[in-house]
Amino acid sequence: MLKITDVSKTYGNNKVKAVDGIKLEVASKQILGFIGPNGAGKTTTMKMITGVLAPDAGTITINGHDIATDPIAAKQSFGYVPDSPDMFLRLKGMEYLNFMGDMYGVSAEQRRDKIASMGEIFEMTGALNGRIQSYSHGMRQKIVIMGALLHDPAVWILDEPLTGLDPRSSFQLKEMMRRHADAGNCVLFSTHMLEVAEKLCDKIALINKGRIVFDGELDNLKMQYNRLSLEDIFMEVTANA
C-alpha cells in the first residue's frame, strides 16, 4: 500500500544526506514502526511521503499513486499527523474538523458519524466549540488526529502520535491502529516509545544517519542481533552505526 524506493534527500548545499537511498514497504494489514535516534531521518522521510518535501531521487507510491506525478490522488489516500500539533490555533475545534472534511471531500453524514465517534473516543466532544489555541498539548494532538482520520484514509502516517496523549487516549489510538490494519489497511508511525513499537507493530524499520539499518519483523530482528528487547537492539545498532 505504501512503497518507498531508493529515496534520497539532501538539504541545501549540505554534502551529508539526510536520507540516503532508503527502501521501505508497508503492505496491507501491517503496522510499521519507524524508529531511530533524533535527527536520523524519520521526519524527513515522512515529509517526503506526504509531499511536503520533494526527494532528490527515488519514488514514493501511496495506494498505487505516485506522490510526485499524481499528488492529489496520493494525498487523498493518506491521513497525516505531523510531529507538532500546534496548528490552526485560531480555529475552533469544530471549524478545523469541518475544514479538513471539506478539503478531503467528506460527506456530511460521514463527517457527523466520524466526529461524534472520535469525539467520544478521545473525550473531545465537549471541547469542540473552543479555539484550538485554548487546548492543552494533548488535546491539540487529539484534534489533529481526528482531522487526519476524518476521511477514513487507507494509509495512516503518524509522526510520534502518542506524544502528549493521556493513557486512555493513547490506548484508544493504539487499538484504532490495530483495527485499521486488521481491516486491510496500513499504518506507518514513528515513535521513541520502543515498548509500544514492540507490542504493536508487525514490522520495524530502524533508521540511523539517513539509512535503513533494519527493516523486517521484530522476531527476525531479535534473532539477527541475538537480543531479547528492542531497546537493547536499538542501543547496539545506534552505538555502532
Kind plus residue range of the DSSP H or E element containing 148: helix 137-149
Helices 108-121 and 93-103 meet at what angle, rounded to 10? 140
Q: Is 241 in the site for another protein (CB under 8 A)?
A: no
Shortest separation between residue 169's beta carbon and another protein, angstroms? 15
Return d(Cα 238, Cα 209) in angstroms, integer. Answer: 9
Contact 7, 19 (CB under 8 A): yes
Q: Which is nearer to another protein, 86 or 175 (CB)?
A: 86
Could you tell me which of 11, 99, 14, 101 has the C-alpha nearest to residue 47? 11
Span near another protein by CB under 8 A; candidates 132-140, 167-175, 185-193, 198-206: 132-140
Q: Which is nearer to another protein, 133 or 220 (CB)?
A: 133
Q: Is 54 in the site for another protein (CB under 8 A)?
A: yes
Q: Is 136 in the site for another protein (CB under 8 A)?
A: yes
Span near another protein by CB under 8 A; candidates 26-34, 106-114, 163-171, 175-183: 106-114
Span near another protein by CB under 8 A; candidates 18-26, 94-102, 181-189, 208-216: 94-102
Instruction: Kindly tell me which residue out of 116, 183, 223, 235 binds another protein, with binding defined by CB under 8 A.
Output: 116
Instruction: Kindly tell me which residue out of 5, 8, 58, 94 binds another protein, with binding defined by CB under 8 A.
Output: 94
Q: Is 125 in the site for another protein (CB under 8 A)?
A: yes
Contact 146, 70 (CB under 8 A): no
Contact 63, 71 (CB under 8 A): no
Q: Is 90 in the site for another protein (CB under 8 A)?
A: yes
Shortest separation between residue 187's beta carbon and another protein, angstroms? 17
Shortest separation between residue 76's beta carbon and another protein, angstroms? 4
Query: How far are the Cα atoms of 33, 38, 79, 86, 175 from residue 82, in angstroms, in the given order?
Result: 15, 15, 10, 10, 20
Shortest separation between residue 95's beta carbon and another protein, angstroms? 7
Query: How far are the Cα atoms of 6, 76, 115, 204 from residue 194, in angstroms, in the given order?
Result: 26, 30, 30, 10
User: End-to-end CA distance of the chain, in Å?
Assistant: 30
DSSP one-letter string for 98-118: HHHHHHTT--HHHHHHHHHHH
Residues that bind another protein (CB under 8 A): 12, 47, 50-54, 71-73, 75-76, 80, 82, 84, 86-88, 90-95, 97-99, 101-108, 111-112, 115-116, 119, 125-131, 133-136, 139
